[in-house]
Amino acid sequence: MSADRQTFSEQIEPHRRELHAHCYRMLGSVHDAEDAVQETLLRAWRGLDQFEGRSALRSWLYTIATNVCLRMIERRPARVLPIDYGPPSDPHRSLAPPLLESTWIEPYPDSELTLGGASTSPEVRYEAREAVELAFIAALQHLPARQRAVLILRDVLGFSGAEVAAALDTTPASVYSLLQRAHATVDERLPGRSQQSTLRSLGDDELSAIVNRFVDAWSQNDVDAIAEMLTDAASLAMPPTATWLHGRDAIVTFLRRTALDGTRRWRMLPTGANGQPAVAAYIRDASGRYLPYGVTVLTLTAEGIAEINTFRDASAPERFGLPSRL
C-alpha cells in the first residue's frame, strides 16, 4: 500500500476506540491508555512509509499499540484494586490517606466501549463487555506483561497464533505456552459467573430497579436500605486509598460513621462503567453546589450487590460525559 499521509486520519479513525480499549486492558488506566494511543498513532504516522500492506492496517496498529504498552508497563507500577493490595480494614478506623504512587485500576466509561469492532474469530473467548469487567481487568494486571498481551490479542481480539507471534517477535509455540499460563492465572481469579451473565439474567427492568434503589438510598443517607441490598460477603473499596471493607456488617458500621453519617449531602447519577452498572457521585459543598466526588461501580450477583468500588476522582464524571457540577 502506498503511504498516503493525506488520508492517514481517515484510515486510523475507525480503530481509535478499539485501540483505546485495548490499551486500557493492557494498562488498567484510562489516562495511561490515552497516552498509549497517542504514542501509537505518532509511531504509526512516522512509520507509514514502511507499511506496505503485508498485514492488515488493524493488526499493524495493534502491534504498535501492544509494544507501546509493554514498554509503559516496564516503567510503571502494576495497577490493582484495593482488595488485591492488602487485607480488609477495620470499619471503626478512619479512612486511610490516599497512596502517593499511582497504583489503582481506573473505571472505563461504557460510552467509550466499541461493541461492533471485535473479531468474530473462533479464538475470541471474551465478549467486548466481559473483556472490560472490573474482575477481568484486575485479573489481567496480575499477569506478566507478555502473558497479558498474548491473552488479550488471542482471547479478546481473536488474532491467530501466527499473528500474535509476529506482533511480539516470538514463535507460535511460545505464544501457546504464554497463553496456557495466562489462562491458569486468570481463570483462578475470575468469578464463576461473569457480570454480563448476571446482568442478562436480571433483565433491564430489574437492573434499573436495583440501581434506582441504590441511588435513592445513598442520596438519603439510608444505611439500612443499602444493607438490605448487600450480600453477606460484600466488599466496599475506595481508591485512591487502600481502605476496603469486607462483609455487610463491616460496611454498615463504616458507612454509619463516615459517608452516610447524615452530615453529608449526596446526589447520584446512573451511568455505566466497565460493562457494569455505575453511578456518578456528587457531594454538596458549603455554598450548596454539588461537586463531583467520583464514580461508583457496582458488581452484582443474584443475591445482591457483591462489590461497591468507589473511585474517588473529581474528574471522573466529566470523562463519563456527565456534568462537572449540579
pLDDT of residue 5: 59
Given 76, 103, 121, which residue is the final one in a domain? 76
How many other CB atoms sit within 10 Å of the CB of residue 171? Answer: 12
Residue 281 phi, psi dihedral angles, 5° rounding: -105, 135
Domain contains 27: yes
The CATH number assigned to the domain holding 260 equals 3.10.450.50
Containing structural domain, residue 24: 1-76
Given 76, 96, 128, which residue is the final one in a domain? 76
pLDDT of residue 166: 94
How many domains, in total, are found in the chain? 2
Given a cut of 90, is residue 78 above it in pLDDT?
no
Residue 127 cell numbers, joined: 465478549
Query: Coil, strand, or helix at residue 125?
Result: coil
Cα gap 188→166, rounded to integer Å: 28
pLDDT, average across residues 155-180: 96
Domain contains 138: no
pTM over cut 0.85: yes
Domain contains 148: no
Q: For the chain, what percent of residues have pLDDT higher than 90?
A: 76
> Across-strand partners of 282?
267, 292
pLDDT of residue 162: 94
pLDDT of residue 121: 59
Cα gap 323→198, rounded to integer Å: 30
Q: Is 214 exposed, middle or buried (0-12, 13-18, 19+ CB in 10 A)?
A: buried
Cα gap 305→34, rounded to integer Å: 31
Domain contains 179: no
pLDDT of residue 123: 59
Given 41, 76, 111, which residue is the final one in a domain? 76
Domain contains 286: yes
pLDDT of residue 102: 65
pLDDT digits (tens, 9 = 90+) for 85-144: 889 999 998 888 887 666 899 999 999 887 654 455 555 788 888 999 999 999 999 999
Domain contains 107: no
Domain contains 162: no
Given a cut of 50, is residue 236 above it in pLDDT?
yes
Domain contains 90: no
pLDDT, average across residues 31-49: 90
Average pLDDT along the chain: 91
Alpha helices per DSSP H over the chain? 8-12, 16-27, 30-46, 57-75, 82-85, 134-140, 145-151, 161-168, 172-189, 195-219, 223-229, 248-257, 316-319
pLDDT of residue 3: 47
The CATH number assigned to the domain holding 69 equals 1.10.1740.10
